[in-house]
Structure formats: C-alpha cells, structure tokens
Structure 1
C-alpha cells in the first residue's frame, strides 16, 4: 500500500510538472459602425494572449491575412486591421459617389477558428466572404499553419518530408474521389489544372479529421463547381509528415 501511494504521488507530481503547450486565445472583434452609408464589415478572430514566443507570430500572421483580404488598393499603405477596414470603406464611398443610385452595400466578413492544435502544430482557418458589387459575392478560406516549437509560420513545403511523394499520393486520392481514371488526363472529366498537370492547392491545413486540401473556386474548376475539398486521414499520410508533428 505504501509503495502504491508513493507511485501515485510521483505520477501526480510528474503530470503537474508537464508543461501545458496549448495556446491561450481570446476573441477579438472588429467592424464598421452600422449606418446608412457604411459597408458591412464583421471580423471575428482569435488573439493569442498566453505570452508564449509563438503568440506574436500568430497574431501578426492573422493581421496580415485580414489586411490582404480587405485591402482593395495595393497602392494604399495599410498596416493595421482598423486601417484596412477604413480603406475598404473608402473604396465603397468612391463607388457611391460615382454611382449614387447603387443601393447594394459592400460586405466583408471574416471568422477565424482554431482547427487543430497539438504540442508541435497549430492551424487557424479563416472563413471569409466579400461582396463588392456584381452578380454575386466571393467566399473562400485560408489556412495558417504554425510550428509552435520553433515559433514560426509554416509554408506548404514545410508541412511534408517529401512534398513530391505526398503530391503523388494526393493525386491518386483526388482521382479516386473525383472518378478520374489513372490512365486519363487529370483534366479529362472537366477540371482545369494548368498544363494538364496535377498540383497541390495553395490552401492546406490540419483539421481534426485529417489534412485538408482546399482548392478555391476557379483554382482548378469552374465557379459553378464551387470549391474542391479533399481530406486525407492522418493514418494514411503520417509517413509523409515530419516525425515531430505527431
């Protein structure tokens, strides 16, 4: 009994000493004041506040992505989310001054969600919708992947040990899901891969279900087809990922 209590005490102390690597977030909301002449802007993203070395990297990456989504004129110097909102509103004001009869408001909504986190990796997904006139708006997502241990944002190539080997696997899974024969052209059923060659999308992110490959509208198919999404379970792709990730 004495040995059991000693072992139990050791385990409790050991577990208590383990470092909690989870990031701490608080919701951060931005928007435009509701008024008759204001564009509709709603931004809801997580802000890392745990004083870890990765916090500033995450918050900076989120800020830059929001700016790139809202910034309408590349010649305007925009460095904050508030100034990006202001630039979006100014462009809407310019349109209203040229076409006073235009009654449809511009819209911009962005929502950020943590889709995956373990000791090494953090992934945040940004879902956004933009409407700046025309027949319809545009909605899409962006994945931001971070290496928590090394305190940096990861590019797509850094997600894999061998990106070419992973691409070959992804193509076979893509063909199977979209019913494209392996002996046929990748575009034989109506896709629009450049040079008739399969490639990975710009948006790749970790989720609870697996690694998601997200092809935006127009990226490899027509607008009517919508986004093309492929989710690869981790048990099928683990050998292609750096060992430290899992």
Structure 2
C-alpha cells in the first residue's frame, strides 16, 4: 500500500463571518469563511501570510458578488413595483462547512440560496479546494496519481448509482454523460464528493446531486500528498 505519507492536521482555523441586511424589498444573511493562521505558524514559516490572504480574497470576492447582485436586482424590482402588485423580498443566504483540513489541503463547500421571484428559489454550491502552501486551487485530477484515468473511475461510480436510482435522474441527451475537466467536488475525511448543479443531470426536486466515493475504495489511485486515509 502506497500510504507512507504522515497525516497532518493543518495549523489553521476557519472563522465565520456574516453580512446581514433587510429592507422593504431585500433580505440577506450571508455567512462566509475566512482562513486564519495562528501567528506562531507564520513566524515559523509554516504558512505564507500573503498566500492565505489571496485564498481569502477569492472567497470574499465571490461573496460580495453574490451580495451585490441581490442588491442590484432588488433595486430594479423596487423601481418597477406598482401598488397592488404582489410584493416580495429578494432573498439570499449562504452557509459553509469545512469538510477537509489536512496535509496542507483545505476543502470548504459554500452553499448559496437565492429567491428572486417565481415558483421557488435556487440553490447552488461553490467549493473552495486549496493548497495552503502554494495557494493553488486543487483540481480533481490533482487528487490522483499521474497517469490514472480518474474520469473513468469516477464515472463508473456515478453511473452505477444512477442505474440503481433511475427515477431520480434525467435520461438520454439530458442525462449524465461523464464528468467535466473542471468537475465540481469537495473532500471529506472519508469520501470524495462529486456534485452537479440543480437541473444539470436531475430534476429540481432532487436538489444538488451528490455522489460519495469512499476514499478507501480508490486509495490505490490517489495522490496521497493531499489525502489522509486512516
């Protein structure tokens, strides 16, 4: 077994921050993460402060973009609203979880929800997977050894699940055709979680389709630089 890399908990923590506002036509409660490094670990050169800040900036910019879009759309609605019309608030919410925080690799899925009128709101997921040493975004192929056909492995897991639960997924041209080069995912201690947006391969009522692939079942193919299997 090629599992000779020591498992190491990252010398970091993640703070929770909140942007909140409510007006006649707008309401949002946007919770977002910020990676924090204890000063002693920066002093001992465990981490580069600028690299950590660059990751936080990427996350924060996405949060502000989400907030600004809500504010802009609610203002436009306010301008066209007429007395007697059905009044509603543009709403936006977010929450996050730190699902993996080991071997200088951090995985933070952030779930966004917005309601802008219509029959229902929309939920989408944005995962921030980063190497804390380099600031590099960790892509799905980075989790596997060089030369491994990771798409074939993951596609087989997903297809197997879909075959057993056909009633939950689209078929034919609208159905699952294989993962993308920039496929969305996040990590947990036990699973690689590959997911798709609402309506991408399944109806709205399924919400965000997620596929848990146990790390122990694919350990022989994994790049253990990032992944800790115990």
TM-score class normalised by the smaller sequence: 0.7 to 0.9
Tell me which of the two structures has the higher relative contact order, counting C-alpha pairs closer than 8 angstroms and 6 or more residues apart: 2
Q: Distance in 2 between matches of 1:198 and 1:87?
A: 32
Query: In 2 relative to 1, CA 45–242 (structure 1 residues): closer, same or farther, beyond 3 Å?
Result: same
Match of 1:197 in 2: 177
Q: Distance in 2 between matches of 1:20 and 1:229?
A: 26
Does the C-alpha gap of structure 1 residues 214 and 163 become closer, same or farther in structure 2, counting only changes over 3 Å? Answer: farther
Between Structure 1 and Structure 2, which shows a larger proportion of helix residues?
1
Could you tell me how far apart the structure 2 residues matched to 1:173 and 1:196 are?
12
- Which consecutive unaligned segments of at least 5 residues does structure 2 have? 1-7
Matched residue, 1:48: 35
Deviates more, 1:165-174 or 1:219-228: 219-228
The structure having more radius of gyration, on CA atoms, is 1
The CA RMSD measured in Å over matched residues stands at 2.9
Deviation, 1:197, is 3.0
The alpha-carbon distance between structure 1 residues 145 and 20, as it changes in their structure 2 partners (threshold 3 A), is closer
- Cα–Cα, structure 1 residues 217 and 196, in superposed 2: closer, same or farther, change >3 Å? closer
Where in structure 1 are there 5+ consecutive unaligned residues? 1-18, 71-84, 181-185
- Number of residue-to-residue matches in the alignment: 206
Q: Distance in 2 between matches of 1:237 and 1:218?
A: 28
Contact 1:161 1:242 survives alignment (8 Å): yes
How far is 1:94 from its partner?
A: 1.3
Cα drift, residue 20 of structure 1: 7.1
Displacement of 1:87 after TM fit? 4.7
The alignment's TM-score, normalised by the length of structure 1, stands at 0.72
